[in-house]
A and B are shown apart, each in its own frame.
Chain A
């Protein structure tokens, strides 16, 4: 990193962590179904990154690729050797090669999932390093450009990342470029105070990016950005996936059920002994 001590970071200097989805299966499906290809996506994103760097001389952009098997930093504007877009593309190609070599299965059912949890963690680690670099640092934020469906296996890891981002006051902006909404990113943005957006017109991605996500955190206070209608915080039960207002909670793992069970299906805890004396002893009502 360049020496920061001489720099005077104003409140509108940003550190933008961009997570791009490089799940090959997702992009193949996009190739087949829509006219929005990875190269189009890349050119929109590169233009956007350039405009971010032009907005303020001290703005910093870091790009992390979330692949199918791994994730890695592919661009860092503060590193002098990687100043140009060609470097990004070069690094990206290397990354895809590596990602392919790590892959064991010959084909994947559906489009698979990209490693969102891993790239989110890397972004947060980078931000933590910037926080520790000194009292003056750019205002960090994370932008997820994500298209693959949410991976159920990553749920806990992603939620943990979201909460740690919330703790360090890093907003997670998210732009769902695929055909479906992402519950992960919607929650991430809601919890961390970022913006969640699903573009209606894929070809206008650059316009969406520059209109909604280009502004720094300070200026956001003055803008009316698209806000979610609100997240339904009601839980759905683990047994029937129904949204419920009131139900039973496992006192051990906090799984939610709409009916009383003898045993928790998630963690295997036995209910029932205390129930003879007091119906609400072992599993409390919400």
Chain B
């Protein structure tokens, strides 16, 4: 993992909330939990394409606003009886700033 790109301040994302990140060719959202863990996942529910960034964040999970599928933010896997997965992305916090791995983003966006 070579290059990291800064996308904003940790404080810009509400606790138990999410923000979208605009990357051409990709729907991406960054989530922040109550405990200030940060996750980046594809902002698209595999069920009907719902924007997961608009869902309710609980623990390290999010529930899709359209039909209540819940996903583990860390693994991207659907929980409970539903089967499906969203792509997860590397993300880190450096001095209160959120950083994404640029190479991975470029690669996925180009797919």
Indicate, yes or no, whether A interacts with B: no
B-side residues, CB < 8 A to A, are none
